[in-house]
Structure 1
């Protein structure tokens, strides 16, 4: 058993360094020793289960889910069941989208060992993913009681609190996290500041939200979601021009092959239409359409934005293209009728796109 544990310790060390192949080789060496034992004692069976669990974790990290699943099952066939293996198996099940099974396994693990922070975090994440915010909040509090420095649990707790409408508590959780980071330039402050801004924005504290967002952008200028939140904040306070400029700043300096995410580009187009900035809106719409030239849904989305602003002429080429790409979708024809009721019918599906 001692030799097996030595190989497993080596595997864990390699795993921490990200050396997955070397970690797997050390596990294989340990398992060969276990298989060669004449009459396994309890301690040897325990070491074998731990090694199988470690190898399963390696295979999971390598993306070899089927092998990982089989190895976890073998490890869990040993008695007594080891809670860490249950927790890691739950992580694999969650990755595979088998959330109910994952939750069951994770809860078994923490029933055996209540202070497994990683598995508690998984339980909270599963509740959050299912929209069960109050349950998620309770579990994330347990994580922080075990490990106050668990940044992701703190961020998810703040987000769950905000979604559940507990804005002041969400802000307090973020401020507590910031107080734990002495260096004002530590990048770990960035997501806490972004979450603080979101909580303050939800609570109506405009000035506080602006300060938090600006500090987050000072640390990490390329934060599309923060730029989007700032733009919404400006729009909510009756300053659409500032909202447009915020999204423009999000675009500035980005590499040509990394454009602003599509939802933010749509938000910018909507703002430009609402502000009556015709030339800029047309240029932005053209740029959006080029990102997915065969996407009828995207063309319809652009059409809808233009029609909302009463811009029928600008909507027309996009709705015509939507019809060419998806002629059997009734809403495209309804939008076409709204854009121009007595227009020339759109060309067949193999026609030439109008400048798109």
Structure 2
């Protein structure tokens, strides 16, 4: 009967569909299951309970917790009811039910947390994907913005250039108007003087005859000579500076690179200087009728052109004054026979006069004359022929030739006008751009010159002369890199133009820009041009050594030294290469030879000795110094280097002798005194060492080792304060050297300045905690500092006792710190006796007598005992 409620509880647990309330209210005898059935039903649970595996029943109870018969709260109520019933009737069942309940609750909560974490993970994954999409969108947006921004400046620049061109053309109208008027005047006077007739004779001329004088052949022949590039005049040969193709008055080094690069800020584009055709002058003047006649001639309106010329002749010649000599200059370059016949008798009949008049030279003839005069550099004749030919037909190549002649004669304005005319006729005329650039360079208009050369080379990249002149412009504005690039391009196009020395100079300039590959190429070209150019061989070897191509450098030096064995600079380089190859026997022999033939090369010997020291060849390094000193005994640097090397090798006696010799040569060098003092410190000759090291510090107070070893010497001399001061000044110069703090701490200990000693030892411990005996030194310093603090505390307690003698606590605290202080015992006993605490006073008098048997204390004790007996 006693197990029925427990069985009811388990039944309610296993069968959640049952009503736990009804099961709990049923009388026990209404459920009489057979014993065999009860055992069969509950045997697994009992076995689990006895075995201790409380968690196992959850396999059977899972349906009860996940059943859909009610909410989780309802299931908890059922469990709670079962738990109450089982607690009263079966503690074991209650434990089982409680364990199952706890496990299920934990599992449920864990499942919820797991689901939440999974949802968070999904959200995080989605967030990452969204972030990647956002990054892609941002990247696309940035690319679009960059493309858009890159297009805008190009468009703005093109529009700006077009506007500048139009404005410049407008500004150039006046200049071109004058030139056109001058051409028309020359043409008019040519016709007038060739025919020696007035307006009446000109009126009878047929249009065809007049047109032959005005135009000439419509076909234009071009010869290669007309397109040649005009290089800047040369006054000197091509030297190492590679900057002398221009005349001295062309450029100055005072211009800056900024002027050459800020072209758009300082001057309009060069195309803007090519103005448009000028508007015709007013027909109410001689010049206006001439301009109108020229326009009609260009349009093929010949009768109108003739009529305009007739109207121009009606105006007085004073409007365009011209002397006879000027008129003669304006005449065509006729042959003498033609000239004589042209100036002969005046014809009596119009037709016969026309038929008998001599024919003027054709356009082709005038062009040929101009070219021949230009080839012979007969510039005035070339100008005359070009001007006469241009009256027949406007030709770009003739305009270029005319500009060349004007430029050669120093007439820059006329040359510019001719070049601009050529560019109007032929906008892609690269040679004209190059010549215009050289003209601007002569005038020191660097931005315009730079832009002209750039345009010329864009149109024709194979213009070597343009590259050379462009290089000179860059040199003048101080842009060495651009200048060398232009020289490189020019020599790539015309490799035979430069000499060996020119390539050598270019190589040297490349070295200054740290372009060793380009320098090597230039030096090889120089050698190819001139195999006897020893400087090129030497520089090539140096470049190879810089690139650590030791074997190639060695072979180059050997080739060079076969031609000139006495070349000391190359001998030094050869020695460095041997050291780089670590061919130590050959290198030692080379430097031994150099010590004899070039004893002044002290630095080279020092460097080689240091290389031997780095290779741990100490004796060989000392031998290098000693041999060098044989030929240069007064070389202080060698003597000092030998001293340093002997000290590093710990050859103290030899090092001291070398240091003394160095001091004798130059007593004002701190390191010489330092090495002497260092050798004496190693020999424990403290006073001499201190003297030398003090002198070294006076000469160079910033050298740490002089300060340190001086302090160490003073410490050995037991000059504690001086040692502490020196070491204290030295340590900031080398705060990572822990032995310096150890030495400083020992000095402070001797001065009983324990707090400073503690700081010094702590610094050493932080840098090198494994320093021998450092722990004991630090402990001693701390103990000393603690005792000093106790003494100071006791002194303050004494002051407090003097101020408040009735406060007995001050006596006890002071005695806690200093228990062997007799005066404190006596003072405490006196105060106790004054306060009638006789027993305590007797005790402390007796303790004082134990420390020291003093008569005054005995007397006080006897008096107190007598008082107490009474």
TM-score range, shorter chain: 0.5 to 0.7
Please list the CA deviations of residues 194-252 of structure 1 after superposition, one character each: whole Å capped at 9, or x if unmatched: 7499599959569975762333224xx1341x213443676699863332222222232
Match of 2:692 in 1: 284
Match of 2:506 in 1: 86
- 2:236 is equivalent to residue 7 of structure 1: yes
Which of 247, 253, 256 is the matching residue for 2:659?
A: 247
Work out whether residues 234 and 247 of structure 2, in 8 Å CA contact, stay in contact via their aligned partners in 1.
no
Structure 1 Cα separation of the partners of residues 559 and 714 of structure 2: 52
Match of 2:340 in 1: none
Aligned length: 299
Structure 1 unaligned blocks of 5 or more: 16-22, 182-187, 347-356
- 2:669 is equivalent to residue 260 of structure 1: yes
Over 3 Å counting, the alpha-carbon distance change for 1:126 and 1:237 in structure 2 is same
Match of 2:640 in 1: 228
Structure 2 Cα separation of the partners of residues 128 and 318 of structure 1: 47
If the length of structure 1 is used for normalisation, what is the TM-score?
0.58
Please list the CA deviations of residues 157-191 of structure 1 after superposition, one character each: whole Å capped at 9, or x if unmatched: 22443465423212433466678x5xxxxxx3443
- 2:445 is equivalent to residue 216 of structure 1: no
Over 3 Å counting, the alpha-carbon distance change for 1:108 and 1:205 in structure 2 is closer
Match of 1:113 in 2: 526
Structure 1 residue matching 2:566: 3-state secondary structure: coil
Alignment of 1:121-200 (within 5 A): 121-122=538-539, 124-125=541-542, 137-145=554-562, 147-162=564-579, 164-174=581-591, 188-191=598-601, 195=605, 198=609
The structure with the larger Rg is 2
Work out whether residues 673 and 692 of structure 2, in 8 Å CA contact, stay in contact via their aligned partners in 1.
yes
Structure 2 Cα separation of the partners of residues 123 and 308 of structure 1: 53
Q: What is the CA-CA distance between 1:113 and the residue it aligns to? A: 3.3
Match of 1:185 in 2: none
Structure 2 residue matching 1:340: 3-state secondary structure: helix
Q: What is the CA-CA distance between 1:280 and the residue it aligns to? A: 3.6
If the length of structure 2 is used for normalisation, what is the TM-score?
0.28
Over 3 Å counting, the alpha-carbon distance change for 1:195 and 1:292 in structure 2 is closer
Structure 2 unaligned blocks of 5 or more: 1-229, 252-403, 409-414, 416-430, 436-461, 758-870
- 2:687 is equivalent to residue 275 of structure 1: no
Please list the CA deviations of residues 38-96 of structure 1 after superposition, one character each: whole Å capped at 9, or x if unmatched: 9689999399579959x96xx9xxxx9x6544543443342336632431123312xxx
Structure 2 residue matching 1:32: 3-state secondary structure: coil
Over 3 Å counting, the alpha-carbon distance change for 1:251 and 1:176 in structure 2 is closer
Structure 1 Cα separation of the partners of residues 739 and 647 of structure 2: 30
Match of 2:78 in 1: none
Q: What is the CA-CA distance between 1:105 and the residue it aligns to? A: 2.0
Which of 250, 275, 288 is the matching residue for 1:32?
A: 250
Over 3 Å counting, the alpha-carbon distance change for 1:206 and 1:311 in structure 2 is same
Q: What is the CA-CA distance between 1:305 and the residue it aligns to? A: 4.9
Work out whether residues 76 and 85 of structure 1, in 8 Å CA contact, stay in contact via their aligned partners in 2.
no
Structure 1 Cα separation of the partners of residues 700 and 517 of structure 2: 41
Work out whether residues 154 and 177 of structure 1, in 8 Å CA contact, stay in contact via their aligned partners in 2.
yes
Structure 2 Cα separation of the partners of residues 166 and 159 of structure 1: 10
- 2:718 is equivalent to residue 302 of structure 1: no
Structure 1 Cα separation of the partners of residues 519 and 712 of structure 2: 48
Q: CA RMSD in A?
A: 5.3
Q: What is the CA-CA distance between 1:323 and the residue it aligns to? A: 4.3
Match of 1:350 in 2: none
Work out whether residues 167 and 203 of structure 1, in 8 Å CA contact, stay in contact via their aligned partners in 2.
no
Which deviates more from structure 2 when the two are superposed, residues 139-148 or residues 205-214? 205-214
Q: What is the CA-CA distance between 1:151 and the residue it aligns to? A: 1.2
Work out whether residues 49 and 78 of structure 1, in 8 Å CA contact, stay in contact via their aligned partners in 2.
no
Structure 1 Cα separation of the partners of residues 576 and 674 of structure 2: 24
Over 3 Å counting, the alpha-carbon distance change for 1:176 and 1:288 in structure 2 is closer
Over 3 Å counting, the alpha-carbon distance change for 1:110 and 1:50 in structure 2 is farther
Match of 1:340 in 2: 745
Structure 1 residue matching 2:631: 3-state secondary structure: helix
Match of 2:729 in 1: 321
Structure 1 Cα separation of the partners of residues 567 and 710 of structure 2: 45
Work out whether residues 4 and 30 of structure 1, in 8 Å CA contact, stay in contact via their aligned partners in 2.
no
Structure 1 Cα separation of the partners of residues 539 and 712 of structure 2: 42
Structure 2 Cα separation of the partners of residues 316 and 125 of structure 1: 53
